[in-house]
């Protein structure tokens, strides 16, 4: 396996072989390196839990990346600018709309 843009810190080689699921071994000097797995993508970058009371003031300029999950029972007031980078799944949006209808 060839890893692009990575060099062995011991000998400078860029040729590695996989060893197990989380290690690479340099084919030249046999140094062993651990591989960091990227974190799994989560639906919610921000979770506002039940019982929380959150106010985004009139001067707020907030960007939320990765989604927003507001649990039932949380109070959220938005007076400023809040930008959501990732849309929720259609099922979650439909569920939220049903909850809002019950509140109104």
pLDDT digits (tens, 9 = 90+) for 17-71: 888 888 888 888 999 988 776 555 555 578 888 899 999 899 988 888 777 888 8
What residue ranges do the domains of the chain occupy? 1-37, 46-103
CA–CA distance, 99 with 104 (Å, rounded to integer): 9
Q: How confident is the model at residue 104 (pLDDT cuts 50, 70, 90)?
A: low
Q: How confident is the model at residue 2 (pLDDT cuts 50, 70, 90)?
A: very low
Helix (H) or strand (E) holding 101: helix 90-103
Summarize the chain as % helix, strand, coil (round to 5): 15, 35, 55
Q: Is the Cβ–Cβ distance between 69 and 90 less than 8 Å?
A: no
């Amino acid at each position: 396996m060839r890893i692009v843009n990575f060099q062995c810190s011991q000998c400078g080689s860029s040729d590695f072989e996989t060893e197990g699921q989380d290690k690479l071994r340099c084919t030249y000097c046999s140094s062993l390196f651990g591989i960091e797995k990227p974190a799994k993508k989560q639906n919610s970058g921000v979770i506002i839990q039940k019982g929380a009371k959150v106010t985004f003031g009139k001067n707020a300029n907030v960007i939320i990346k990765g989604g927003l999950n507001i649990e039932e029972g949380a109070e959220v007031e938005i007076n400023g600018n809040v930008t959501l980078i990732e849309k929720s799944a259609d099922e979650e949006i439909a569920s939220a709309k049903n909850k809002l209808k019950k509140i109104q």
